[in-house]
Amino acid sequence: MPERSPRRRGRGPGAVLAAVALAGAAVLTGCGGDGDTSARSTTGARSPSPSPTPLWDASPASVAAVGDSITRGFDACSVLADCPEVSWATGTDAGVRSLAVRLLGPSKAASHSWNHAVSGARMAQLPEQMALAAEERPELLTVMIGANDACRDSVDLMTPVADFRASFEASMRQLRASAPKTQVYVSSVPDLKRLWSTGRENPLGKQIWKLGICRSMLGDADDMGAAAVARRDAVRERVVAYNEVLRDVCARDERCRYDGGAVFDYRFTGEQLSEWDWFHPGRDGQARLAEIAYRTVTAAGPPA
The confidence band for 212, taking pLDDT boundaries of 50, 70 and 90, is confident
Residue of 290, 280, 268 whose CA lies nearest to 79:
280
Number of domain units in the chain:
1
Q: How far apart are CA 246 and CA 145, in angstroms?
A: 10
Residue 264 to residue 260: CA distance in whole angstroms: 9
Q: Does residue 2 have a pLDDT over 60?
A: no
Range of lowest pLDDT (21-35, 211-225, 285-299): 21-35
The side-by-side arrangement of strands in the sheet containing 140-144 is 113-115, 63-67, 140-144, 183-186, 256-258
| CATH number of the domain bearing residue 294 | 3.40.50.1110
Average pLDDT on 250-265 reads: 98
Structural domain includes residue 136:
yes
In-domain check, residue 63: no
Q: In which band, very low, low, confident or very high, does the pLDDT at 20 lie, cut at 50, 70 and 90?
A: very low
Q: What was the pLDDT predicted at 6?
A: 38
Position 127 in a domain: yes
Whether residue 75 lies inside any domain: the answer is no
Please report the pLDDT score of residue 53 as a whole number: 55
Could you tell me if residue 135 is inside a domain? yes
Could you tell me if residue 27 is inside a domain? Answer: no
- What range defines the domain where residue 155 resides? 122-298
Q: Which pLDDT band holds residue 21 (cuts at 50, 70, 90)?
A: very low
Tell me 201's DSSP state. T
| Structure-model confidence comparison of residues 109 and 32, the more confident one | 109
Contacts with 297 (C-beta within 8 Å, 6 or more apart), sequence order: 58, 60, 99, 103, 140, 183, 185, 257
Backbone angles phi, psi at 50, to 5 degrees: -65, 155
pLDDT band at 263 (very low <50, low <70, confident <90, very high): very high
Quick check: is 178 in a domain?
Answer: yes
Looking at the domain assignment, is residue 42 inside a domain?
no
